[in-house]
Amino acid sequence: MILEEIVQKLSPIEARINEPIREYTTFKVGGPVDLVVIVKNKNELKSVLQLITQIGIPWMVIGKGSNLLITDDGLDGVVILLDGDFKSSQIFENKMLYCGAGMELSEVSELAFQHGYTGSEFAIGIPGSFGGGIFMNAGAYDGETSSIIHEVEWMNDNGDIYNFSKENCCFEYRKSFFQKNKGIILGATLSLELGNLEEIKAKMDDLTEKRNSKQPLECPSAGSTFKRPPGYYAGTLIQEAGLKGFSLGGAQVSEKHAG
């Protein structure tokens, strides 16, 4: 089935043929992808997954496009972007907070603060989506996404929806159940504690200052690139190897932070 026919079958869901993927990555590089599909709710996502699975087209979700380095040749298949309902949140009577996978991690941190919750301050400034943060158990400044998760909502490639408790997510350092199973994280309920607003704000401001002073936020970047070796720091090892500031073509190891 040609791409134009797929777009017709997906209508009115937004789909773009031969879309430059660089527009959706924080590195701002990458060639065209066969098809970018923007879904705004679970029903649209289910329809997309069922169709492309039936046809046998490879697909992936890229969240905010951080932690990705994509060739100028681009990507074959379908890239799915989560929009609309997936960028919304909900507060329940029992003070549980639900956030959609399309929200930014910084937005989750800000939202928790607005409701007086502590525990997600570490996420302020992480350049990724909430769904991506869950997928890779993203973290910073001694905090990890898994630490704030109560339950994750997930859709498999048949369009079936499941809810996973934190324990069943199999979180490890930069790992989770979702990396080994084909599906899409829809959102998650947070497990947070009420805290002191002034203390929460002070911690968020402190982490923001550290990030701004140490990282090259003025340049296209994927954020921290390497996993931390046990008992050490990747940035320190790179600097000790004399590669801080090293450049090749248009790419450079940051002079601010070698990681």
The mean pLDDT value of the chain amounts to: 94
Cis peptide before 12 (omega within 30 of 0): yes
pLDDT per residue over 181-238, tens digit each? 999 999 999 999 999 999 999 999 999 998 888 888 888 988 788 888 888 899 999 9
**Where does the pLDDT of residue 1 fall: very low under 50, low under 70, confident under 90, or very high at 90 and above?**
low
Which pair of tokens denotes residue 52? 């492309």
Q: Is the distance from CB of 130 to CB of 97 less than 8 angstroms?
A: no
From the list 41, 38, 43, 28, the residue with the least C-alpha distance to 78 is 38
pLDDT per residue over 149-184, tens digit each? 999 999 999 999 999 999 999 999 999 999 999 999
From the list 124, 199, 112, 113, the residue with the least C-alpha distance to 150 is 112
- pLDDT confidence of residue 242: 96
Query: From CA 198, how far away is CA 207, in angstroms rounded?
Result: 14
